[in-house]
Amino acid sequence: NAGVTQTPKFQVLKTGQSMTLQCAQDMNHEYMSWYRQDPGMGLRLIHYSVGAGITDQGEVPNGYNVSRSTTEDFPLRLLSAAPSQTSVYFCASRLTGLTEAFFGQGTRLTVV
């Protein structure tokens, strides 16, 4: 059982480049979320989804897009990378709104 899998683990981008962070879960969870974690800031919610075809914005959505075409996958797209998006990104999934989240191992992104 792989749980939540994120790829890549590390990425360096130049300012203005775009890329997609991948997230897949094999637990048949309806709820999936993306967070970013900066030093001293805890985890901040970027976007979330409550099922295939349904997404919504979190606390810090600007500069990011998401889609949810399948239950398993929830990719996060950076449209035009900026140094302020340098962070560690975590994907999470959970079965319902009242159960714990399972997190991936994270993607460390550096924008230069």
Partner 1 sequence: GESVGLHLPTLSVQEGDNSIINCAYSNSASDYFIWYKQESGKGPQFIIDIRSNMDKRQGQRVTVLLNKTVKHLSLQIAATQPGDSAVYFCAENTGGFKTIFGAGTRLFVKA
Q: Which residues bind partner 1 (CB under 8 A)?
A: 4, 31, 33, 35, 37-45, 48, 50, 56, 58-59, 88, 90, 92, 94, 96-106
Give the integer Cα–Cα distance in Å for 33 and 92.
5
Q: How far is the CB of 112 from partner 1 (least distance, A)?
A: 16
Query: Considering beta carbons, is residue 78 or 90 the nearer one to partner 1?
Result: 90
Minimum separation from the CB atom of position 54 to partner 1 (A): 10
Question: Residue 62 corresponds to which tokens in the numbers above?
Answer: 């600007």
Query: Shortest distance, CB of residue 108 to partner 1, whole angstroms?
Result: 8
Contact call for residues 85 and 103 (beta carbons, < 8 A): no
The torsion defined by the Cα of 54, 57, 61 and 67, in degrees rounded to 10, comes to 0
